[in-house]
Amino acid sequence: MKKLIFVTGGVCSSLGKGIAASSIGALMEARGLSVRMVKIDPYLNVDAGTMSPYQHGEVYVTDDGAETDLDLGNYGRFTNSPLSRANSITTGQVYQAVINKEREGRFLGRTVQVIPHVTDEIKARILAVGKDPDVDITIIEVGGTVGDMESIPFLEAARQLLHEFGRQNAISIHVTLVPAVSGGELKTKPTQHAVKELQEVGIQPDALILRASGHLDEGMRRKIAGFTNVEFEGVISGYDVSHTIYQVPQIYHEQGLDSFILKKMNIESRHADLRPWKEVVRKVVEPKRHVRVGVVGKYMELTDSYKSVWEALYHGGIANDTGVEIIKIDSGRLEGELADIDGVLGTVDGILVPGGFGERGIEGMVRAARWAREHGKPYFGICLGMQIMVIEHARTVLGWAKAHSTEFDPDTACPVVGLLEDQVDVRNYGGTMRLGKSESVLKEGSLIREVYGAEHIWERHRHRYEFNNAYRADFEKSGLGISGLTPDGGLVESCEWPGHPWGLGVQFHPEFKSRPTQASPVFKGFIGACVIANGGKSVPGSAEARLGSTDPREAKAKAKAGEGHAHRA
């Protein structure tokens, strides 16, 4: 029979349920099992697409164009679980589906109620994710905190499934907080109350993950086990990691969580193979070199606003055996006559401008792009970051001082970036952008083609504005390389600075597909270029190895003359 693992949270939010669920998934896969991941968000929004980064962090996009919670990004980085809109369940989706069925008369005139109609919809969506015959375990993370009004229908659905499947086929793992009070004394009472709240909705947790800053000793874990009716072996210390979240699977494994889960669910498996995770952690803890990357954006004060970008940069570092220090630069700091651009950008080895929406900070990003181009500093623009390259080139090289995007200046006389044609009459902003996986064709001899080592690639998109093709000929004549197009040639997917050590912009979001064990090729290449910029040695997959020279400009010239050694990333 299929197996289910429910992961819930108590005491407070932001305890790391997503990392916990992802790490459990990684451990189950290391045991040779096939895993599927589900995230439940109790908010009434249909998806995360219209939510501000200040409200909900980044929006993670799947291949099929779903705009989801950032925890699906963790699932994608930690596990091999395929991710689509089916893996994200929200209250808005559930109630919308139930109401639509009622309007269609599918309930045969019966009164529509939370139980059974809403809970049945939730259960059906959970079970649909793991319906394939090769799936062994579905891991369901219930967002929010036990006790929240919004979570009640989902917890009731979980309770029903736990009862229907039986304790050997469905288990509950509860993540709680063990806080330190004045003097550093740890308190177990919040955890006791959190478990009591879960029990009040009819769910007895099988395991507890206790979040605390430090490791919890055996005595405290036994005390909690006694008060909560949880076996001692199932009480896990989820202490803060010292270097990287990719240590968490090892931390759980060392405490026997994966063995405990398999025993509870009566599953036989091979011994856990954690060698890939150990190698990832080794490269994070003991890298051969270090680089500093300046990320110029507008949500720098929010850790989760560019979560996938941060992780993809670290993945690029892992692929180059290089430690990556991220310098977060609010683009507003680069605006105004008194801005010390040399002082801010001169200390980093590479500059990345990520995606974003809204006018604030745009001029600072344009300045950053110009500084990188003129100073030969590696530059990587993602989505908005590519459009910034286009605006900067139009103003500085072509001399079009008023060049802009119609997103920021609807009345600009020189709209080098404009609204997609199919977006012109859109009035409903939910799920209407260019979203999901799309094909790009890469120009022979271009930097991006060398980075990917392929002519055709598939990456995920999330944008409404696009390079304006009316100006394409002007840009190409003036030196901006148009290096990636859609198969029909209608949309520009990437552009670059010929003759520059490493200057590349892409309209898509490669960060969404990057993993610690398999970095995105373009992030791998960017960090390799940063290594060269700070005088680092040649490493596999870097720009230096790709071009066959320690000097990037000389290597580029040799590559054009056919003398360089071509390395496929």
Residues catalogued as catalytic: 383, 509, 511
* Contact predicate 413/427, CB 8 Å: no
Return the half-sphere exposure (C-beta side, CA atoms, 13 A cut-off) of residue 304. Answer: 18
**405 burial level (CB within 10 Å; 0-12, 13-18, 19+):** buried
Tokens of 172: 């509950």
* Contact predicate 514/534, CB 8 Å: no
For 13, residues 6+ apart whose C-beta sits below 8 A from its C-beta are 144, 145
| CA atoms of 89 and 28, how far apart (whole Å) | 22
Question: Which pairing describes strands 35-41 and 88-90: parallel, antiparallel, or unpaired?
Answer: parallel
Q: Which runs of E-coded beta strand occur in 10-108?
A: 35-41, 60-61, 67-68, 88-90
Tokens of 206: 């099988």
For 566, residues 6+ apart whose C-beta sits below 8 A from its C-beta are 450, 546, 548, 559
| CA atoms of 305 and 296, how far apart (whole Å) | 13
Tokens of 451: 């980075």
Please confirm whether the linkage preceding 53 is cis (ω < 30° from 0).
no
| CA atoms of 507 and 145, how far apart (whole Å) | 37
* Contact predicate 508/438, CB 8 Å: yes
Phi-psi region at 499: left, alpha or beta (left = phi > 0; alpha = psi -120 to 50): left
For 27, residues 6+ apart whose C-beta sits below 8 A from its C-beta are 249, 252, 253, 257, 258, 261, 272
Please confirm whether the linkage preceding 116 is cis (ω < 30° from 0).
yes
